[in-house]
Amino acid sequence: MSRDRQVGRVGQLSRYPVKSMLGEDLDQAYVDEAGIAGDRTFAVLDCLTGKVASAKNPRLWREMLTVRSTLTPPDSTGAPAVRLTLADGTTETVTVTGYRDPALSMLLGRDVRLLDRAAPHTSIERMDPDQVRTDDDLRSAETVSSELATGSPPGTFFDFAPLHLITTATLAALTDHLGRPVHSQRFRPNIVVEVPDPGAGFVENLWPGRRLRIGTDVVAEVVIATPRCVIPALRHGDGEPDVALLQVLSRHNRLPAVGSLPCAGVYARPLEFGVIRSGDPVELC
C-alpha cells in the first residue's frame, strides 16, 4: 500500500528565463537537477560592479520586474537568446555576446550584458526586508552581498535551490492578513500547489525534510522554507508596490529554522527527473 499522501495539485507552472524579470506560464515542463528547463537560464551582469543584477536591490534594478522574458531559439550565429517584452509592449531580442548590450543597457540605465552561466561565487546585492517599512525605504535601505545558487548545480542563477513552490493556502493566509488579494506572481514560484483546504494557513512550513512526488516522474526533496526578500513588495508588471506585504510576513510567518526570517513557500531539489504538467497531483512521500 502506498504511503504517499496527496497534498494538492499543480495549479500553476512557471519559469523565469531571465533572473529578476517576469516569466512565462507553462502547460508542462521538463525537470532535471537544474530545475525546470529554461528557468533562470540567463541573468544580467552589471559591467561596473561585476555582480549579477537582481531586483533584491530595487534602488538599481526594480524596473527589471516590468520586463517579461520568453525563451527563443538561438540567433543565426548560434548565440543563446531571449525575447524581452517591455512595459509599453515593444520587444527586444537579446543575445549572449560577452560584450555590453546596448538595448538592455538603455532599458536599465546602466552598462550591462547578458550571461548564460554564473562564474564560481557569483553574488548579488540584496536589501534586508526588515529595514523596509515605506516605499522610500526601497530607495535608501542598505544592501549586502550574498552568493547565488549555494543549493543548486554550479553555473546556475538560482537564489538557492532549483525549485520554488508555494501553496494556495499560503496565498490565502496572506490575503486574509493583508485585507486584499495577494498574487502568486509576487513570489515568483515555479509551482503553485493548489491545496484542498484554502484556509489551512502556511501548510508548506511542515514540508522541509520530506519528499514531494509531482506527477508520475518527478520527485523532489524539500530543503528549506523560502526566506523572503524585498521583491514581493515591488511592482510586478503593471501592478503596484505593496510594502505592507513584507510587514504581514514578518508578523505572521517567521520561522526559527531559517533564523527567524519571514518566509513564504519552500525550496526543493529534484531527485528524480521527468515531465510535470498543470493539474498533476502533488504528494508527500
How many C-beta atoms lie closer than 10 Å to residue 65's C-beta? 23
Give which of 113, 116, 109 is closest to 47, Cα–Cα. Answer: 113
Phi, psi of 258 (to 5 degrees): -120, 40
284: cell is 508527500
DSSP secondary structure letters along 29-67: EEEETTEETTTT-BEEEETTT-PBP-TTSHHHHGGGGG-
Domain boundaries, the chain: 5-37+118-284
Query: pLDDT averaged over the chain?
Result: 95
pLDDT of 28 strictly over 90? yes
DSSP tally for the chain: helices H, then strands E: 5, 19
How large is the average pLDDT for residues 257-281? 98
> pLDDT digits over 208-217, tens only?
999 999 999 9
How large is the average pLDDT for residues 58-85? 92
How large is the average pLDDT for residues 164-177? 99
- The residue among 68 and 86 whose pLDDT is bigger is 68
> Which residues, 6+ apart, have CB-to-CB distance to 89 below 8 Å?
none
Q: How confident is the model at residue 3 (pLDDT cuts 50, 70, 90)?
A: low
What Å distances lie between residue 106 and 88, 93, 101, 230, CA to CA? Answer: 15, 14, 9, 25
DSSP secondary structure letters along 164-199: EEEEHHHHHHHHHHHTS---GGGG--SEEEE-S-TT
pLDDT of 10 strictly over 90? yes
Is the distance from CB of 162 to CB of 32 less than 8 angstroms? no
Place of cell 526586508: 129
How large is the average pLDDT for residues 238-242? 93
- pLDDT for the residue numbered 1: 39
How large is the average pLDDT for residues 79-96? 90
How large is the average pLDDT for residues 44-49? 95
pLDDT of 202 strictly over 80? yes
Alpha carbon distance, N-terminus to C-terminus of the chain: 12
Looking at the domain 5-37+118-284, which fold is it?
M1 Pyruvate Kinase; Domain 3 (2.40.33)
| pTM flag (> 0.85) | yes
Is the distance from CB of 188 to CB of 164 less than 8 angstroms? yes
118: cell is 554564473
